[in-house]
Chains A and B, each alone.
Chain A
């Protein structure tokens, strides 16, 4: 195996340093395939070796340097401070950047560049929450937000993202399940709010259905039906029935569900406001809750 040109160059330099003649040393490698490169490199190395010495008149007195070294301040202490300042500035910049991104992502909808930031921030916020009630309320808000996003997407002429409806159902169920595991006062209030939120979601979903592209309608209709069934289950399980005057045009045309109960305006919007006020002040709700709440399935079939 042939010796590498890097090692040959090093060997030549060592031989020259020991007093060998460059041309004579090089001649030994005349047959090497990289002889020309080796020759150029060696000549350049010798040129570098013969570069001029720096002009030097007199070596400065050592005692002066020693005295100065004792009296001069040690500069190193400045460096950590500068480093800390830089790191702090970097953190502040990153924090500001994140805050701006989160703020800007507030109105984003699926497909927007900042939408993942919005969802990521939601996850972070949720994982930072410790109270059950806080978590339940947050999930309820998220559930409504998904519906708003779907509504916004359709309004802009886009395709309805059905994964948003799934998230809406998931979050809503999480909120209800969390509510059921809580002490009586909080449970009653949150179950009622869940029921109210579900009712509003059903209306919203129906509006989306009306505005959606024809190709999407069939899929959305399953979710509207599921909403109707969810209302029924809320009524049969907890005895809570909420109908609002704005619910005109309830999707009775869907054969897959029977929502005739839901169409009756048992509670007016004014009464709902009154109920909510009553809940906030006393924690008592209209309607009856069974002692033992059941889990139920209200996903689209």
Chain B
């Protein structure tokens, strides 16, 4: 799968207080890292809805980074623990969908850890490069039937769940 010219697209969800500031620090300290990551700011890693990750992958991202404050240092006291638990469940779901574990990574970076964050970004990019493109959005195009099948499943599910009033 690995291809030298393959440049993965990575979406990063970084918390406002620690990891976004770590990325700022990496900038101020000119710590070079891979340009593949594109950062979206959220107030807390606990804000990261698993559907954000799925959406990013569905729209063509090859990998996703979720970054927050270190456990015990969350600016919202303990919300990164919730991110941690959600992440475990998300990984489980992704595995079931055939997405390799290393494509979606959870990273802790304090506002002082520009170096560590830059290294984590490079690591993630290297991991995804080794895995090759995910190509979810391409799959939708190639296989229209699969898409319809999925839509049918959703429809059936909704019907089954409907409670008569």
Do A and B belong to a common assembly?
Answer: no
